[in-house]
C-alpha cells in the first residue's frame, strides 16, 4: 500500500522553505530548491507562490508573525500606558534576542532575507508602529504623556531603541552593558514623553 501523499499547500511550502534556508542558507531560498526539497515540480510550487521574492516575503512574514502575539496582548491590556510601553519594548527585545540565541543560523538567514523582503519588513514595522502608537494614544488620553502625534512618537521610539531589537545590531546584544544602555535610553525617551 502506497503512503498517503500530503497535499501541497502554501503552509507546507513555507515550512519547507524555512528548512531549506536553515540547512543550506538564504541563497537556496528559491522556488526550484524548495520544489526539489518537496519532491514536486517547480510548476506545482508556482501555483502557490508566483516568485522567489514572494517566497522570501512569506518566510520573513512567518518569522515576524510568530513573535507578535505577546506584543499584541500587552497592547490590549488595561493599566498604565507608561508601564505597558516599557513591557512592550522589553518583550520585543527579549523575543529578538531569544530567536538569535535559539537558532543563530536561521536568525542570520532571516537578517539576509529581510534585506530583500521589503514588503514583509514594511508590514512588520508598520504594525510595530501601530501597536506602539496605540499605547502612546492611551497615555495621552490618561494624561501620562504629553500631547504628541502617536504614530510619529512611535516611529521615533522604535528608531531610538533599534540598537536593542533590530536584527542588524545582533552582534552588539552580547555587550555586558547593553541592558544598562537600554535603561538609560529609555529614561531619556520617557523624560521627553511624560506629561509630568
Per run of 10 residues, the mean pLDDT along the chain (length 196 residues) is: 64 90 80 90 90 85 89 96 98 93 80 79 93 98 95 97 93 95 97 87
Cα–Cα distance between 168 and 165 in angstroms, integer?
Answer: 9
The pLDDT value recorded for residue 68 is: 94
Q: Indicate the CATH number for domain 62-193.
A: 1.10.357.10
* Cβ-contact 44, 8 below 8 angstroms: yes
The pLDDT value recorded for residue 61 is: 86
Structural domain boundaries of the chain? 10-50, 62-193
Q: Which fold has domain 10-50?
A: Arc Repressor Mutant, subunit A (1.10.10)
What's the pTM value of the predicted model, to 2 decimals? Answer: 0.86
Residue 109 makes CB contacts below 8 A (sequence gap 6+) with: 21, 22, 25, 26, 29
The pLDDT value recorded for residue 98 is: 92
Neighbour-count burial for 156-193, b at 16+ CB within 10 Å, e otherwise: bbbeebebbbbbeebeebeeeebeeebeeebeebeeeb
Amino acid at each position: 500500500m502506497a503512503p498517503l501523499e500530503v497535499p501541497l499547500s502554501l503552509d507546507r511550502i513555507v515550512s519547507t522553505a524555512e528548512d531549506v534556508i536553515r540547512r543550506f542558507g538564504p541563497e537556496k531560498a528559491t522556488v526550484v530548491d524548495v520544489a526539489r526539497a518537496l519532491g514536486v515540480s517547480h510548476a506545482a510550487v508556482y501555483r502557490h507562490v508566483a516568485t522567489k521574492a514572494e517566497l522570501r516575503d512569506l518566510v520573513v512574514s512567518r518569522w515576524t508573525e510568530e513573535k507578535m502575539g505577546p506584543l499584541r496582548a500587552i497592547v490590549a491590556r488595561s493599566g498604565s500606558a507608561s508601564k505597558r510601553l516599557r513591557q512592550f519594548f522589553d518583550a520585543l527585545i527579549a523575543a529578538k534576542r531569544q530567536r538569535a540565541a535559539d537558532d543563530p543560523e536561521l536568525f542570520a538567514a532571516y537578517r539576509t532575507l529581510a534585506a530583500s523582503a521589503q514588503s514583509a519588513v514594511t508590514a512588520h514595522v508598520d504594525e510595530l508602529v501601530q501597536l506602539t502608537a496605540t499605547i502612546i494614544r492611551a497615555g495621552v488620553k490618561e494624561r501620562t504623556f504629553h500631547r504628541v502625534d502617536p504614530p510619529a512618537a512611535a516611529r521615533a521610539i522604535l528608531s531610538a531603541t533599534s540598537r536593542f531589537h533590530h536584527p542588524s545590531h545582533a552582534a552588539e546584544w552580547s555587550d555586558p552593558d547593553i541592558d544598562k544602555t537600554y535603561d538609560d535610553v529609555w529614561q531619556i525617551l520617557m523624560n521627553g514623553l511624560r506629561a509630568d
